[in-house]
């Protein structure tokens, strides 16, 4: 079973040289720590920055320089600032190659719910609806089951949707799965030490198992 | 052209009960602290506020919520404010949550003189309820209207007496397009210089969009999530 950093490490294998990438809050943010050496990846922050750098050194934080999670950050050589309209303009126009975000539920059709629990949580969608409606490639980083032990990979989402038919891939503590419309959750890889049966038991939506399922390679 | 007013009190003097305001900023970054302070002192009521976030309990728009000045918030993310959540769940506060890009682009449309935009954000979700949709090149889009705000209140880093504005780093965020979108736009700046001192090539918001400008003071610039690394980690 993977921990949060393990999930981030596995997702980092999906990065390609020259990608512009938007990382959501939580596990997705950790992906920045595992960008392969020598690979040129530019991180977009939807509040208006391309080229997110590491956290500042103590005492060097600047209140005018934050990421979309409101954390103090730094820039990189080649960074650029812009306004919120341009930020979502480049997202809508498909210039951002990959979006990685968290989810509360994903359906076997690729629907995603991650912004609202009626009567309980009313935080809002932020930029998530814009990102999932436009990104060419969307990877969800999440736990396979919720705190109550219920599967988050479902035939249909029960929570209000963030987007429809948009999730391409899911990486959890148990598995890597592709979401293929008309087929369901196609199992690609098992986490180290996890059996196909364990993944079956944790998946409520339609799980497609074709041939031998290899174990993830994490180095 | 001289758009200078003395201070925040003078800049907001005609903001009345029931006004619709746009307030710039992302989280607490780039918010018009001086004008929010003056509004809180004036205690205008029944405001509709268009702002990406709603501040935190004791800073930013949170201060206006504490005094029950806000009737309705139009925002994309309001997760950092317990008083906000209390007023929302008790029905005292009306809230319209909209996608962040839709919020930004509805401001932009107002500033560009366009009545509406089409966006894919929210298609197939409850955000789409009751909205007109169109299909372009096989993909469905929602029609969203340009905002109509009585006042836009923004914060810039530098400005000149003619209302030209320059923003700093990610404190830019919603400020430029809100500045373009208000019927009356009020800009508070950290440094106000005479007309002619800003390089015309470096100006982000042309002064034509700005009606009143003043140099603010005592900026707190509170940080929401102070995240640092130790020198030894490098």
Partnered with residue B68 across adjacent β-strands are none
Q: Is the pLDDT of residue B24 over 70?
A: yes
Per-residue pLDDT at A219: 76
Cβ pair A83:B173 closer than 8 A: yes
Whether residue A37 lies in the annotated active site: no
Query: What is the interface size between A and B, counted as CB pairs within 8 Å?
Result: 182
Residues 6+ apart with CB under 8 A from A36: A12, A15
Q: What is the DSSP letter of A71?
A: B
Q: Does B176 contact A at CB distance below 8 Å?
A: yes
Per-residue pLDDT at A6: 97
For chain A of 219 residues, list the mean pLDDT of each consecutive stretch of 10. 96 97 93 94 97 95 96 96 98 96 97 91 91 95 96 98 97 98 97 97 98 93
Q: Does B128 contact A at CB distance below 8 Å?
A: no
Per-residue pLDDT at A209: 98
Find the closest chain A residue to B176 by CA distance.
A83
CA distance, residue A159 to nearest chain B CA (Å):
10
Per-residue pLDDT at B83: 85
Q: Out of B88, B102, B231, name the one closest to residue A57 (CB).
A: B231
Per-residue pLDDT tens digits for B190-227: 999 999 999 999 999 999 999 999 999 999 999 999 99
Using CA atoms of B155, B161, B165, B167 in order, give the dihedral in degrees to the nearest 10: -60
Q: What is the DSSP letter of B115?
A: S
Region B150-156: what's the mean pLDDT?
98
Domains of chain A: 4-170 (3.40.1080.10)
Please state the domain extents for chain B. 13-97+149-215
Using DSSP, state whether B193 is helix, strand or coil. Answer: strand
Per-residue pLDDT at B233: 56
- Tell me the CATH class for B13-97+149-215: alpha beta
CA distance, residue A65 to nearest chain B CA (Å):
5
Residues 6+ apart with CB under 8 A from A8: A27, A28, A30, A31, A33, A34, A141
The whole model's pTM is what?
A: 0.96
Q: Is the pLDDT of residue B234 over 60?
A: no
CA distance, residue A165 to nearest chain B CA (Å):
10
Beta-strand relationship, A169-171 and A175-180 = antiparallel
Q: Out of A65, A111, A160, name the one closest to residue B169 (CB).
A: A65
Contacts of B122 in chain A (CB under 8 A): 129, 133
Cβ pair A56:B119 closer than 8 A: no
Per-residue pLDDT tens digits for B74-133: 999 997 788 888 898 888 999 999 999 999 999 999 999 999 999 999 999 999 999 999
Distance CA B64, CA B70 (A): 7
Q: Is the pLDDT of residue B45 over 60?
A: yes
Cβ pair A72:B119 closer than 8 A: no
Distance CA A129, CA A164 (A): 10
CA distances from A88 to A48, A65, B81, B100 (A): 9, 18, 25, 8
């Amino acid at each position: 079973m993977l921990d949060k950093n393990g999930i981030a490490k596995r997702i980092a294998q999906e990065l390609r040289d020259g990608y512009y990438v938007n990382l959501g809050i939580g596990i997705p943010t950790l992906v920045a720590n595992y960008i392969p050496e020598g690979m040129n990846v530019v991180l977009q922050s939807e509040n208006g920055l391309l080229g997110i750098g590491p956290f500042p050194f103590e005492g060097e934080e600047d209140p005018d320089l934050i990421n979309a999670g409101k954390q103090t950050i730094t820039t990189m050589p080649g960074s650029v600032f812009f306004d919120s309209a341009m930020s979502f303009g480049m997202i809508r126009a498909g210039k951002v190659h990959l979006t990685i975000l968290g989810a509360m539920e994903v359906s076997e059709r690729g629907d995603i719910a991650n912004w609202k629990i009626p009567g309980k949580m009313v935080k809002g969608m932020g930029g998530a609806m814009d990102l999932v409606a436009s990104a060419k490639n969307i990877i969800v980083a999440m736990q396979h089951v919720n705190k109550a032990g219920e599967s988050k990979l479902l035939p249909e989402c029960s929570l209000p949707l963030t987007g429809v038919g948009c999730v391409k891939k899911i990486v959890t503590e148990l598995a890597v799965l592709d979401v293929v419309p008309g087929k369901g959750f196609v199992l690609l890889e098992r986490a180290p030490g996890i059996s196909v049966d364990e993944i079956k038991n944790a998946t409520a939506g339609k799980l497609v198992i074709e041939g031998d399922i290899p174990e993830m390679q994490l180095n | 052209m001289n758009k200078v007013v003395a201070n925040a009190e003078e800049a907001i003097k005609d903001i009345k009960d029931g006004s619709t305001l746009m307030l710039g900023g992302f989280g607490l970054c780039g918010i018009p602290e001086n004008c929010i302070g003056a509004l809180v002192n004036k205690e205008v009521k029944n405001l509709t506020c268009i702002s990406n976030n709603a501040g935190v309990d004791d800073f930013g728009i949170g201060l206006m919520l504490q005094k029950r000045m806000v009737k309705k918030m139009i925002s994309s993310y309001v997760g950092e404010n317990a008083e906000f959540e209390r007023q929302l769940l008790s029905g005292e506060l009306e809230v319209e949550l909209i996608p962040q890009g839709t919020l930004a682009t509805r401001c932009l449309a107002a500033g560009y003189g366009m009545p509406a935009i089409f966006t894919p954000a929210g298609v197939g979700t409850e955000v789409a309820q009751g909205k007109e949709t169109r299909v372009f090149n096989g993909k469905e889009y929602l029609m969203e209207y340009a905002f109509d705000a009585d006042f836009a209140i923004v914060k810039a880093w530098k400005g000149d007496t003619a209302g030209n504005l320059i923003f700093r780093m990610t404190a830019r965020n919603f400020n430029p397009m809100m500045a373009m979108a208000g019927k009356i736009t009020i800009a508070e700046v950290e440094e106000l210089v005479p007309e002619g001192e800003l390089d015309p090539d470096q100006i982000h918001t042309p002064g034509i969009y700005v009606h009143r400008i003043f140099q603010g003071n005592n900026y707190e610039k509170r940080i929401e999530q102070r995240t640092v690394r130790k020198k030894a980690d490098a």
